[in-house]
Structures are given as C-alpha cells and as structure tokens.
Amino acid sequence: MKNIRKIKKSELVKPIKCLLICLISFSAFGQSDYEKEIKQHRENYKEDFLNNLNSPLAQEDLTNLDFYEPNEEFIVYSKFKPGGKSMPFEIPTSSGKMKTYTRFGQLTFKIGGKKQRLTVYRSMDLMRNPLYKDYLFIPFKDKTSGKSTYGGGRYLDLRMGDVSGEQIWLDFNKAYNPYCAFSAGYSCPIPPEENHLKVAIAAGEKNFKGAIKE
C-alpha cells in the first residue's frame, strides 16, 4: 500500500484537455473540408459565366456575386416520393413566356424542426438533349426572397443519380440565382406556389451586389 501514489487533480485534467483539443481539431478539419468543397463549387459556378456565350456576366462582374457562409445545417436529408406519370404542364417565366415541365417527384424534409416540401421537375426541352436528359430542377422561394436573396426565387439542380432509393441529400448551400437576377432579357422560370417555403433558407447565393443590366 505504501507504493500507491495519490493522483493529483491537475494530472486528471491534462488528458481531458488533450482529448478536447483533439476532438475540436477533428471537427474543425471536417468543417474545413466542407468549406473547401463549397469554395470549389462556387469557383466552378463563376467559371461557368465566363464559358457560357449566353452569360449575363463578364469577368469584372464576378466580384459582385455574394453568398452566405457555408452552413451544414442546410444540408438536409430528404425523403423522395416519385411523381409517377406526371402530365406536362407549363410554368410561367419572367419574360411572360411559358416553359413545359413534368413533376418528377416530391421531397419532404425538416428545417428548424418544421416539415417542408419541394416538388422536383423535369424540363421537357432538356429531356430531348442527351447531355441533360437526367437533369432535375428545383426552383423555390423562401422567407429570404426579396430581402437578402433574389425576389424571383433561386434554383437547385440535381441529376437522377442523386436519387438513392427514397432519399436525397439536399444542399441549400448550392442554391443559385437565375440569370434574371443579373440582367433583363432572360426567360427564367418562376417557382410555382407549391415550392414557396415558409422558412428562411439563409444559405447559398444572395442578392447580386452590382447593377442589374438592361
């Protein structure tokens, strides 16, 4: 019994501190990886403006693009329900023209503990294009629309391969503005009322900081 040394309180604290530092470092590393992913996604988004002949923005305009900081709370697990054989219908656009879509299915998810729904669409025009025949389109408005984000709503893109059985991971950090947010003369689909969310999606692209081109 003489060889048993009483452990000091300070000696117990040190390994606990070390464990906490390791956990925090691991968490920060994971978050950093996601921030890098979103940064690269946004760099690619900007590059697309320069490579698209129909683009409303030039190199000097790109500094006026604005985004929320990446927020992993807006990566949501969504249950997917197929739309079945949906009949084509028309969605009005900002120019007054109509574009034809079908309802591919519906997403159900929660944000802030509240249940939300979004309909996923397919463009009849793009379905005829081999490069985009698996393209899925989610236009939406939310409580930030007309305030910190474009009043005409924002878009999310998916591919059929993103649908895994009855689930989709939806990342609102990748929400982007239609061309109409930057310049007049474009024909941008207006999100149908069924895709008006009653929560604020403080993620993705914000209002353009530059002047809207005529």
| pTM of the predicted protein model | 0.83
Q: How far apart are CA 95 and CA 152, in angstroms?
A: 12
Structure tokens at 152: 């005409």
Sign of CA dihedral 177, 107, 40, 203: positive
pLDDT at 31: 55
Question: Which of helix, strand or coil describes residue 119?
Answer: strand
pLDDT at 25: 40
pLDDT at 122: 95
Q: Taking phi first (over 0 means left), then psi (-120 to 50 degrees means alpha), and beta for anything else, what does residue 185 get?
A: left
Q: Spell out the per-residue pLDDT of the chain, length 214, in tens.
A: 444 444 454 444 444 444 444 444 434 445 579 999 999 999 999 999 999 999 999 999 999 999 999 999 999 999 999 987 779 999 999 999 999 999 999 999 999 899 999 999 999 999 999 989 999 999 999 999 999 999 999 999 999 989 878 889 999 999 999 999 999 989 999 999 999 999 999 999 999 999 998 8
One-character DSSP codes across 22-49 = HHHHHHHHHHHHHHHHHHHHHHHHHHHH
Q: How far apart are CA 96 and CA 2, in angstroms?
A: 91
pLDDT at 165: 81
- The domain spans of the chain are 65-195
